[in-house]
Homo-oligomer: A and B are copies of this chain.
Amino acid sequence: MSATAAFDKVVVFGVGLIGGSFALALKAAGQVGEVVGFGRSLGSLTQALELGIVDRVGFNIGQEVSSADLVLIATPVGTTPEIMARIAPCLGPQTVVTDAGSTKEDVVAAARANFGERLGQFVPAHPIAGAENSGALAARADLYCHKHVVLTPLPESTPASIARVRAAWECCGGLIRELTPAEHDRVFAAVSHLPHLLSFALVHELARRDNRDLLFAFAASGFRDFTRIAASHPEMWRDICLANRTALLDELDRYRAQLDDLRAALHDNNGARLHETFDVARTARRAWVENKTKD
């Protein structure tokens, strides 16, 4: 335990890729005294202990949370309200709480329903990082390094809580950005949730055909990249889609209108329209890559 640790005690709910990497990053930065883990399965908790992700497995939520400086909720989003309900009565006056959910309006609603007068101690977060694999074994100290972490503070979030949560994610190497919860959910509906839905849709459409083996035999690198995200967790993405349903429906409708336009151009042999669409897309995609590289 370091005398200069920014956080003497951190409690992590969910010790998989996201929570585990958060713990490892704080440890690597020498910014945490003790990490206590809670989770749904004893197997993953034992693994997290063996991997040095957590120092102890927690049993008494009230006791652990009341003396914690920082709590991270990194369980599947569907379980967030329940965890909030359980920790809300136990928060110490020094405890700040953050999360790592991919949607934020639902998390804010759950926080409003559960934290009561402790609401100011909660600062929602969404680290824009992931990996092919999940679970404690996939956790690594550099997962958040140079990755965006979006904070969506509530009007009630205290400046001190915001500063503490920001400092924690910065210790993990994250590049902090702030958006409102509604902005966040609209942005990620467009650039993340919709592409996932579209990718799942393509593979599902092909997978249920009689000639799927023939089709898949000739699928190549373009298909591989386009469908990589169709290998994502069904439960997680069901929950994200439902949690961000309104914004995602809006994005889906815009996209369907775009497809209708392209269908009309194709039907009419309108090569100029196809070319213009493809050209705008290519230019934007290339500029995006160049800007990313500059980051």
Instruction: Give A residues with C-beta under 8 Å from B.
Output: 128-130, 147-148, 150, 177, 183, 187-188, 190-192, 194-208, 212, 214-235, 237-239, 241-242, 245, 248-249, 252-256, 258-259, 262-263, 266-267, 269, 271, 274-275, 277-286, 288-289, 291-292
> In the docked arrangement, what's the CA distance between A189 and B66, Å?
59
Q: Are B231 and A286 interface neighbours, CB within 8 A?
A: yes
> In the docked arrangement, what's the CA distance between A52 and B262, Å?
42
Q: Are B206 and A284 interface neighbours, CB within 8 A?
A: yes
Q: Could you write out 24 A-B pairs with CB less than 8 Å apart? A: A148-B220, A190-B215, A191-B223, A199-B226, A200-B277, A201-B277, A203-B281, A203-B284, A203-B285, A216-B284, A219-B288, A225-B228, A226-B226, A231-B289, A232-B278, A234-B278, A235-B275, A238-B278, A239-B271, A242-B269, A245-B267, A252-B262, A252-B263, A255-B259
A255-B194 contact in complex given A263-B249, A288-B219, C-beta closer than 8 Å = no
A258-B204 contact in complex given A234-B275, A284-B212, C-beta closer than 8 Å = yes
Q: Copies of this chain, how many?
A: 2
From B129, B148, B198, B267, give the contact of A202 (CB < 8 A): B198
